[in-house]
Structure 1
Amino acid sequence: MSNLSLWPIGNCQVSALIDEAAGFVWGCQPRVDGDPLFCSLLDPKDERAMPRGEWRITVENQAKAEQWYLRNTPILVTRLTDSDGAAVEIFDFCPRFQRSGRMYRPVAFVRIVRPVSGAPRIRVSLNPSTNWGGKDAARTSGTNHIRYLLKPQPLRLTTDAPVAHLLEGRAFRAEKSLHFFLGPDEPFVGNVGHTLAQMLHQTADEWRSWVRGLAIPLEWQRVVIRAAITLKLCMYEETGAIVAALTTSIPEAPNSGRNWDYRYCWIRDAYYTVQALNRLGALDVLENYLSYLRNIVDESKGGHIQPLYAVSGEPKLDEYEAEGLAGYRGMGPVRVGNAAYTQVQHDAYGQIILSNAQAFFDERLFRKATNDDFAALEKVGERAWTMHDQPDAGLWEFRTRTSVHTYSSVMSWAGCDRLANAASVLGLSDRAVLWRERAEAIRKRIEKSAWHEGEGRFAASFGGDDLDASLLQLIDMRFLAPDDPRFVSTFNAVEQGLRRGEHMLRYAAEDDFGLPETAFNFCTFWLIEALHLVGREQEARELYTSTLERLTPAGLLSEDSDFATGELWGNYPQTYSLVGLINCAGLLSKPWSAVR
């Protein structure tokens, strides 16, 4: 079983990861890129009698633990059974439903414990941390609540369980349903049991209604639905930002030092996320994200746009190490912030335009793009045009070297090409001609400078001979057709150079940290897509099926896989990987007409 057997819950404001034994081991507040109140996943150094940064419910003499999500929701059920057969079921979720004309999604976590057989004795241990695992949160208590003095905002646990037992970590008999609401530091209005039971039903209905609107493929439906739900959990709905993952510092390979904080919005990752969800018809995520992008574009004033931003839109993400945490399985460092925000990555301009392009054509949107939006987007296009043949850090964010990366240049081409499409639909014929001419000029430059004549293929950088899995994106971006001999030769070279059995590397050359030790899961999905598009359909299906065998019990993937053992590494759940699950299912599935 994977060491990343973690189950996400959330409400698009906050989220938490729950381990195989009903422990909240990761979760931040008041938003996904905040200070973790649950941090035991990253091993607090200063252990206490009650583990720091954790909320755990156990049964005495536990013999078995089983877990599942309520169908089509991120509501987790954990059944804990003791050696005598006595059992409880724990329902974990973050409330999310319509109330008073708006979405109710508080900074809150709910746990409902229901005895289902026998007389189980349970222990509830809640010890949130503050200051990045540096210390236990101070607390005060009342008759039915415990206040935790967290920063930037305190939280209150309201419960109908005996507060004294919780404070002392004492075991007690679970003879009736017990309810726990860890949320805003304010009096809880109403009967906690009745209210939380109602919240459970309302939250389940909200998620099931959202799933019901998805246009999913016939095959691998549960895989696609779970990936889609989790992608939505990675959205910070207040601003529309989409984070790359819910965690920080889970290493890409054991003891590699490749420990990064992914709880921010990368323009690139978010583009792929909305692209995948658009294919399922989840336009709410697209519309929220476009609002986030419009603010980013406004603040750039036609100048440099960073590769990533905080979910608030804050541009400064200074990177430092959290001294109070030893790291995942003791493999530090734990990094907070990400210095990649200072990098130059020119592909971002194309991705902003590609994310916006649909809004000029889609009549379903509440806010269809206007001429004013096009004028603002042209400023991004000007940057794409200006920077298309300039060196950058590339999509893999090399920290110590730059090149003119083919992927970045092709994204610039795609940005100009899509601006021409948008201008045409708006009736701006002169602008359409301009952007079409610029796209053609970039295409000619790429075809000249990225072509490796000696090997008859494209290279990953201008004038280079390097291979990179992103070259497989030449067809997804419509730069080349799948049957173009130039793509076929490039694909053959990439497969030969970077494929490792059932896995795909990003690149095989040394980088800032040495040779890559794990495969990048998203690149494996790019390989599957390419196999399908060049007509190797059976191989594509077999590779997709074998990739599904590496899903965690929650049905998800992290960023990386050990290409020898298949063990998952890297931040979790990774949006890139979930996008791959969705895109490949859509490409490979039999049509719905097959069952009609």
Structure 2
Amino acid sequence: MEFENGSGRVDGSRYLPISEHGLIGDLRTAALVGTNGTIDWYCCPRFDAPSVFASILDADKGGSFELAVDLSTRTRQFYFPDTNVLITRFYAADGVAEIQDFMPVVDESREASRHRLIRRVIGVRGSLPFRARVAPRFGYGAEAHSVRAQGHEAIFECRSISLALTSTAPLECDGTDVWSHFKLLEGESVVFALDQIGDEVRPRGCPHAEAEEQFEATVRFWRQWLSRSRYRGRWREMVHRSALLLKLLTYVPTGAIVAAPTTSLPEQAGGERNWDYRYVWIRDAAFCVYAMLRLGFTTEAEAFMGFLSERGIMRGTGPTGPLQIMYGIDGRSDLPESELLHLEGHLGSAPVRVGNAATKQLQLDIYGALIDSIYLYDKWGRPISSAHWDEVGVLVDWLCDNWDQPDEGIWEIRDGRRNFVYSRLMCWVAIERAIRMANRRGLPADLPRWQQSRDTIYRQIMREGWSVNRGAFVQGLGDDVLDASLLMMPMAKFISPTDPKWLATLDALTTDLVSDSLVFRYDPEASPDGLRGAEGTFSICSFWYVEALARAGRVEEARLAFEKMLTYANHLGLYAEEIGRTGEQLGNFPQAFTHLSLISAAFNLDRVLG
């Protein structure tokens, strides 16, 4: 299959589909491993660092770590049960073998800077010939490097980083790449380890015994972490896979949570809707906190609260208010967006972007998402500190003065600010949850002012956010366009899930935006967003739809829609941001938004099913 980009036709057969990948990581960075055994996305030493392997964005210039059988094979991929250790199995006429891919999770000692990535190849049956090719392309494929190889060790060096590759099989150097060829009999294995090295972290081999020890330690880490889950419902496997994924997207040194570990995976093949998601969206991270708290993972919620306070996030004074919509994983506020013109993009989907210009947008809904997560943490985790409450008070006071202005909204339109109903809704949530906290704990607050603002927002939504023509709540004040973000109205407790106005809205959304359980955000022809091209259905909206149906008492419809959504997961239970017309995964992958909404939908569907 070929795709068109600005430079001509692109051969799609050079790219694995987005869904044909699994994710491994060490809570500082992550790598995508294809079903063909190739690592085609890896940034080191952290999520937002320039890539080392990026062939998922350019098959020729991006770089990769290939491990493959020199025969015709079938492959299957799965996670070692209850872990983020990935197994890729190869089946051929002459035998069976597997790759065990994982990154050991270590503490804050010097070894944390090694960011070790281990690939253990094991012969299971018969005899299979393997080839390995390690071809890093530093700095998103733009930074030259040298390589020194001798025996079982190779050192890749460029201006910004040095990596050491060690192997129990001999290595050969070929210009800027390293090769290895070996044959495995049943019970034999070869271990590759890729480490970041520096003055304090020296090259170190990974013999078979150490690989086994690290494998067992990594399995033990993930299983011990998952054992804290309180979920015992019907969809335990999918919920726990989603929880493990959300944990993989946390950046342990600061408590940050990234929206996705990738950049520029397209929302439409050949299109321009390609964004860098390797940052902390206040909205996404706050929703993650809710999902983690639901499952009993209070430590992650506490770490994110630490990120907010230690980085001074809620004490900001930027041009759009106290909060930006997103931050770097280290808390930095400046994330300039640029285009990497030398990369063709996944399936020719240019441009490839690094950074995100949406940083400077005004999105008022983030205040509701954040303060709701603080409210839940205060309720289900531990009481927030007096300093945190002071910060909440500053946010709410600012919101009382600024809620009634247009913004770019949850969908980050690039076509000017509008009066979005969802933004007003979440401003109401922010103030309402703060009032609850103040009342429950007797905390100081300007309650008369807060209550007046809350009630004014409510009345405006009811008066101007309701369209008589559509018989439904709509996207913007005074318009007639539907928007799937309004599925949050009953979940935010703004309106009863059985209120006649809400049921009419749910019916209208079902008619206009739902296709076999899949939900579009809005109609871009009726509501232009400043970008060319189409997009798929948004999976977070699809799971919101499940929840809305369940809360409205349409339980059978909700359960069927949920089960249908599960069929769109990839072979590992992972989701990107969107689903395309033929069921393909689109957008950055895996996506926190989708998995946190799956957890919430499963939890609430379980509750109504009893």
Question: When the two structures are superposed, what TM-score results if normalisation uses the length of structure 2?
Answer: 0.90
Q: Which residue of 1 aligns with 2:313?
A: 297
TM-fit CA distance, 1:297:
2.8
Instruction: Map 1:354-393 to 2 at 5 A.
Output: 354-362=372-380, 364-365=381-382, 368-393=383-408
1:541 is the counterpart of 2:567: no
Tell me what 1:68 maps to: 78
Range that drifts further, 165-174 or 565-574: 165-174
Aligned to 1:442: 457
Structure 1 residues 105 and 213, CA gap change in structure 2 (3 angstroms): farther
Q: Is the 8 A contact 1:217 1:586 kept in 2?
A: no
SS of corresponding position for 2:172 = helix
Map Cα deviations across residues 238-291 of structure 1 (whole Å, 9 max, x no partner): 112111111111111222211111111111111222211211111122111111
Instruction: Specify whether residues 139 and 581 from structure 1 end up closer, same or farther in structure 2 by C-alpha distance, changes over 3 A only.
Output: same
Farther off after superposition, 440-449 or 53-62: 440-449
The Cα RMSD (Å) is 2.4
Q: Does 1:163 align with 2:175?
A: no
Q: 1:90 aligns with which of 81, 86, 99?
A: 99
Q: Which residue of 1 aligns with 2:182?
A: 172
For residues 574 and 398 of structure 1, do their structure 2 counterparts lie closer, same or farther at Cα, with a shift above 3 Å needed? same
Q: 2:233 aligns with which of 211, 218, 238?
A: 218
Q: Superposition pairs for residues 103-502 of structure 1, below 5 Å? A: 106-134=114-142, 137-150=145-158, 152-164=160-172, 169-174=179-184, 176-185=188-197, 186-188=201-203, 192-294=207-309, 295-301=311-317, 303-362=321-380, 364-365=381-382, 368-428=383-443, 431-502=446-517
> What CA distance in whole angstroms lies between the structure 1 residues aligned with 2:73 and 2:53?
25
Q: Following the alignment from structure 1 to structure 2, what is the Cα–Cα distance between the partners of residues 274 and 103? A: 28
* Bigger mean CA deviation after superposition, 431-440 or 210-219: 431-440
Mapped contact 2:315–2:322 kept (Cα < 8 A): no
Aligned equivalents of 2:230, 2:140: Cα separation in 1: 41
Q: In the TM superposition, what is the alpha-carbon distance from 1:97 to its structure 2 partner?
A: 4.6
Following the alignment from structure 1 to structure 2, what is the Cα–Cα distance between the partners of residues 360 and 228?
21
Aligned residues of 2:393 and 2:445 also touching (Cα < 8 A) = no
Say if 1:331 and 1:478 are closer, same or farther in 2 by CA, change over 3 A: same
Which residue type is aligned with residue 423 of structure 1?
A
- For residues 359-415 of structure 1, what are the alpha-carbon distances to aligned partners after superposition, in whole Å with 9 as ceiling and x for unaligned? 3334x54xx412221011111112322221100001111111211111111111111
Q: Which amino acid aligns with 2:68?
A: T
Whether the 8 Å contact between 1:406 and 1:462 is mirrored in structure 2 is yes
Aligned pair in 2 of structure 1 residues 440, 160: CA closer, same or farther (>3 Å)? same
Q: Give 1:23's aligned residue.
A: 38
Which runs of 5 or more residues in structure 1 are unaligned? 47-51
Partner of residue 49, structure 1: none
Structure 1 residues 103 and 72: alpha-carbon distance in aligned structure 2, compared to 1, 3 A threshold: farther
Q: Residue 89 of structure 2 aligns to which amino acid in structure 1? A: R
SS in 1 for 2:56: helix
Say whether the 8 Å CA contact 2:166–2:204 is kept in structure 1: no
In 2, Cα distance between the equivalents of 1:105 and 1:208?
23
Distance in 1 of aligned mates of 2:92 and 2:181: 14
Pick which of 140-149 and 236-245 moved more. 140-149
Q: CA deviation at 1:447?
A: 2.1
**Partner Cα separation in structure 1 for residue 161 and residue 300 of structure 2:** 27
Q: Cα offset for 1:345? A: 0.9
| Structure 2 residue 570 is matched with structure 1 residue 561 | no
Give the letter aligned to residue 177 of structure 1.
S
SS of residue in 1 equivalent to 2:435:
helix
Cα distance in 1 for residues equivalent to 2:163 and 2:276: 25
Contact 2:67–2:131 (Cα < 8 Å) also in 1: yes
Structure 1's 250 and 425: CA in aligned 2 closer, same or farther, altered over 3 A? Answer: same
Note the alpha carbon deviations across 1:517-568, whole angstroms, 9 max, x for none. 4211111111111111111111111111111111111211111112x42222
Residue equivalent to 2:8: none
| 1:142 shift after superposition | 4.2
2:606 pairs, out of 579, 589, 592, with 589
CA distance in structure 1 between the partners assigned to 2:101 and 2:557 by the alignment = 39
Q: CA 1:277 to 1:503, structure 2 compared with 1: closer, same or farther past 3 Å?
A: same
Change (3 A) 1:103 1:534: farther
Letter in 2 for 1:29: C
Structure 1 residues 514, 497: CA separation in 2 closer, same or farther (over 3 Å shift)? farther
Q: Secondary structure at the match of 2:558?
A: helix
Unaligned 5+ residue runs, structure 2? 1-15
1:217/1:460 CA distance change after superposition, 3 Å? farther
Q: Paired residue for 1:520? A: 538
User: How far off its partner does 1:190 sit?
Assistant: 7.5
Cα distance in 1, alignment partners of residues 98 and 535 from structure 2: 40
Report the CA distance shift for 1:37/1:485 in structure 2 as closer, same or farther (over 3 A): same
The one-letter code sitting in structure 2 at the alignment partner of 1:513 is: L
Paired amino acid for 2:468:
E
> What is the distance in 1 between the residues matched to 2:531 and 2:317?
36
Aligned to 1:576: 593
Preserved contact between residue 13 and residue 31 of structure 1 (Cα < 8 Å): yes
Q: Secondary structure at the match of 2:24?
A: strand
Q: Structure 1 residue 324: deviation in Å?
A: 2.7
Per-residue CA distance 1:115-156 (angstroms, 9 max, x = gap)? 222232211111111121225632223444211224533121
Cα separation, 2, equivalents of 1:190 and 1:261: 34
Q: Report the equivalent of 1:532.
A: 550
431 and 71 in structure 1: CA distance in 2 versus 1, 3 angstrom threshold: same
TM-fit CA distance, 1:93: 0.4
Deviation at 1:81, TM superposition (A): 3.2
Q: Would you say the 8 A contact 2:314–2:322 is kept in 1?
A: no
- Segment of structure 1 superposing worse, 199-208 or 269-278: 269-278
Q: Which residue is equivalent to 2:7?
A: none
Match of 1:530, SS state, is: helix
Q: Match of 1:42, SS?
A: coil
- Given the superposition, is the C-alpha separation of residues 119 and 583 from structure 1 closer, same or farther in structure 2, using an over 3 Å criterion? same
> SS at the partner of 1:439?
helix
- Separation of aligned partners in 1, 2:41 and 2:445: 53
Contact 2:170 2:180 in 1 (8 A): no
C-alpha separation between the residues in 1 aligned to 2:211 and 2:275?
36
Q: Which moved more, 1:129-138 or 1:392-401?
A: 129-138
Secondary structure (helix, strand or coil) at the match of 1:181 reads strand
Give the Å deviation of 1:446.
2.2
In structure 1, C-alpha distance between the alignment counterparts of 2:25 and 2:249, rounded to whole Å = 9
- Cα distance in 1 for partners of 2:52, 2:563 equals 37
1:20-59 matches, cutoff 5 A: 20-46=35-61, 52-59=62-69
